[in-house]
A and B are shown apart, each in its own frame.
Chain A
Amino acid sequence: MRIALFITCVNDLVFPQTGRATVALLERLGVNVEFPEQQTCCGQMQYNTGYPRQAAPLAEKFARDFAGYDAVVAPSGSCAAFARDVHPTLAPQASQDVPPVYDLTAFLTDVLGVENVGAHFPHRVAYHPTCHSSRLLHLGDRPLRLLRAVAGLDLAELPAAEECCGFGGTFSVKNPDVSAVMGRDKIAHATESGAEYLIAADNSCLMHLGGIARREGATVRTIHLAEVLASSKESA
């Protein structure tokens, strides 16, 4: 199996530690992951803001960059859903050659068939099931199954977990007030849960939530699921 990592533009530039964790985790599980270096961005930001014609060339490019692999894995539920569901409408011909695109969670549970990834993370955490992970990819309890198998981890229940964090791509700047109130509510729920870490499988949501937590002086820290699953007794 030739597995390609789609890092996503936000992770590449702002959250490389998530990418490094994804690679470390997959290698620990015996997957020889490759990184097609021509890759850039899936085009979701353009598409969802109303620029489908700007997104289409990126869907074509994605298809060229990832053709020939057996599977694509991305540490982002949102970008994985976009590539899987929308790219075929933007670039119908080219997308025929694209292998199945998985977010990291489903790749672990459904393709590799693992739940215990041998991680060690001795902290109280809460999990935020991001909207695209839950409502587009229908990940269900997969992330929670992975987290429950992490040694030392104390999983708190997040009140109103299914509610959107308020990021929403350009929604966060086009409707900044509503977006910020939604984010503050999510941080308040995380704080209420007593978690030290708020985990999600999408760094764009976490960038918004982390920025709010920092501004509000909340003690809860945000961290990507991949980093929790990659942590070990040595790193903890």
Chain B
Amino acid sequence: MSGTYVGMPAFPQAAKAATKDTQLRANLTRATHTIRDKRARAVSELDDWEQLRHAGRAIKDRTLRHLDEYLVQAEQAVAAAGGTVHWARDAAEANRIVADLVKQAAAQQSVNSDEHELEVVKVKSMATQEIGLNDALAAEGIRAYETDLAELIVQLGEDLPSHILVPAIHRNRQEIQGTFIDAMGGWGRPAPAGLTDEPTALAGAARLHLREKFLRAKVGVSGANFLVAQSGTLVVVESEGNGRMCLTLPETLISVVGIEKIVPTWQDLEVFLQLLPRSSTAERMNPYTSMWTGTTDGDGPKAFHLVLVDNGRTETLADEVGRQALRCIRCSACLNVCPVYERAGGHAYGSAYPGPIGAILTPQLRGTASELDASLPYASSLCGACYEVCPVAIDIPEVLVHLRATVVEGGRNREQGHGGHRAERAAMKAATWAMAHPAAYRAAEKFATATRAVHPRRLPAPGPAAAWTDSRDLPRLPEQTFRSWWKENHG
């Protein structure tokens, strides 16, 4: 299985490396600008987009306010339809449950695990990326095969996803061609001889490689875009049809779903089935929408398990400002417009959730104890492009600033040993004191202006001033402040 995000450096260091990678930048700029422009066109087709957006936001907010009731309703509906519901407090519990279910299914289907390696086929799923399911299954001797084309590219390349919708966005087709030729054989059917970098040839190779896995697998693992509480129906939207294969062919289906994915009714779902495709793939409707409710005799999986995952969501829900992050429907529109994401790349965010939404969701779900997680709320210029395109109106800049205050206070449970940024806090206090005392402020201004002749344009490291002058000159201070000019001329 591919690598892990654990122990990655803080955002500024990882981003610095990315800014020097010209191939990565070219791949990202090209891809994000293409999707960005297409999304803008798809959204502009609808006269009532703003109303839809506010409906999406309102439905999510109402659902989150009564999440306890809707979860119980969903559990009862899934059970009544022949499914089994499991509750997981965190990633470890969720992984444990899935691994046990896979082994249990193998035992029931009398697959001899000594002779055949246990395996599952996977639908693209953010929840399973979040909990690190593939690694956890590998540790239990279970091979998880990603079947989404981009996830397959990432898995074969022993790489990490760098985008929510387009996990291999950082790779171009020549790189993908190389990965297929080098790695497909180790995972199953090798790449056809003479594979070119033509998109149709690459897709054809993936299709052949994956088909034998679809036909052989006894267990499918998915996430879900939505869970309709009313009927206990799960919904997956996708483009490639691999999801449909995984959801219908295996005898056992296990769906790992965050507790915030609930929508109360089918009428509510209608709003999101308009918002999501236009915001993500810039399509009026996605090619495949799969919906399933429990099990059906003689049709699809014989056993269905729903694993409902908390993993920090309840704590996020308790945060009055931060809870809006739970509205997210994982469309990626914010990534595609983000100037920081475009230049830093997805890996710098150190989690399955990159970009602006990751910069708030990751610290909300995981806390800010690690250096990386504490650096994420600062990974934004607060330009607001993300909020503008968000289909459920998550005010990402507002949450970023809120999380910065949390970091400064030493974390929501005061979990950061260092208690925020000591030197910075002292500087901010001093600045506020001076600003609140005009005489002191004027004296500081006078001093700065009087010494202007000796101010350098570049400053030695370390410190924030040096971080400025590494790439920019400092402005020369003028001889006279505005205040003193006003006094002379108008006072």
**Residues of chain A having any CB pair with chain B under 8 Å:** 7, 9, 11-17, 19-20, 23, 35, 37-41, 43, 45-52, 54-55, 57-58, 61, 131-132, 135-136, 162-164, 166-184, 207-208, 210-212, 214-215
Contact = CB atoms under 8 A, between A and B. Distances in A.
Nearest to A39: B438
B478 interface: yes
Given A7-B483, A16-B481, A20-B485, A175 B340 contact: yes
Contacts of A175: 11-12, 15, 340, 378-379
User: What band does the interface of chain B fall in when counting residues whose beta carbon is under 8 Å from A?
Assistant: 35 or more
Contacts, number: 188
Contact of A212 (B387, B471, B486): B471
Contact of A51 (B408, B464, B467): B408
Given A7-B482, A37-B491, 11 more contacts: A13-B448, A13-B477, A43-B435, A50-B377, A50-B406, A54-B432, A135-B385, A168-B382, A170-B464, A173-B464, A178-B344
A46 B16 contact: no
Contact of A211 (B343, B404, B408, B472): B472
A57 B436 contact: yes
A174 B485 CA distance: 34
B383 interface: yes
B341 to A, nearest CB: 10
B380 A171 contact: yes
Interface string B401-412: 101111110000
Interface of B: 11-12, 15-16, 19, 339-340, 343-344, 377-385, 387-388, 401, 403-408, 420, 424-425, 428-429, 431-432, 434-436, 438, 441, 445, 448-449, 464-465, 467-468, 470-475, 477-478, 480-483, 485-487, 490-491
A124 B248 CA distance: 63
Contacts of B387: 135
Contacts of B435: 9, 40-41, 43, 58, 61
Contacts of A176: 12, 467-468, 470-471
Contact of A40 (B382, B403, B441): B441
B471 A178 contact: no
A23 B380 CA distance: 34
B381 A164 contact: yes
B445 A13 contact: yes
In the A-B complex, the 9 residue pairs with the smallest Cβ-Cβ separation, listed nearest first, are A168-B381, A211-B472, A50-B404, A164-B383, A180-B471, A19-B482, A16-B482, A135-B384, A50-B408
Nearest to A179: B381
Given A58-B432, A176-B467, A171 B378 contact: yes
B464 A12 contact: no
Contacts of A131: 381-385
Main secondary structure of the interface of B (DSSP, over half): helix
Contacts of B441: 40
Contacts of A214: 472-473
A222 to B, nearest CB: 10
Given A166-B381, A171-B380, A178 B473 contact: no
Given A46-B431, A168-B382, A180 B475 contact: no
A219 B427 CA distance: 35
A36 to B, nearest CB: 10
Contact of A50 (B401, B475, B490): B401
A210 B471 CA distance: 11
B251 to A, nearest CB: 48
B286 to A, nearest CB: 28
Contact of B405 (A23, A41, A51, A212): A51
Contacts of A13: 445, 448-449, 477, 481-482
A164 B380 CA distance: 10
Contacts of B383: 131, 135, 163-164, 168
A144 to B, nearest CB: 19
A83 to B, nearest CB: 14
A163 B343 CA distance: 12
10 contacts: A7-B483, A14-B477, A14-B478, A19-B485, A51-B408, A51-B428, A164-B385, A171-B378, A175-B379, A182-B339
B478 A208 contact: no
Contacts of B486: 19, 23, 35, 37
A116 B416 CA distance: 55
A210 B475 CA distance: 8
B428 A49 contact: yes
A43 B481 contact: no
Nearest to B409: A50
A48 B482 contact: no
Nearest to B468: A173
Given A46-B428, A174-B378, A40 B438 contact: yes
Contacts of A174: 12, 378, 464, 467
Residue among A40, A47, A180 with max Cβ neighbours from chain B (10 Å): A40
B374 to A, nearest CB: 11
A71 B441 CA distance: 25
B472 A212 contact: yes
Nearest to B474: A211
A218 to B, nearest CB: 12
A58 B468 CA distance: 25
A205 B344 CA distance: 20
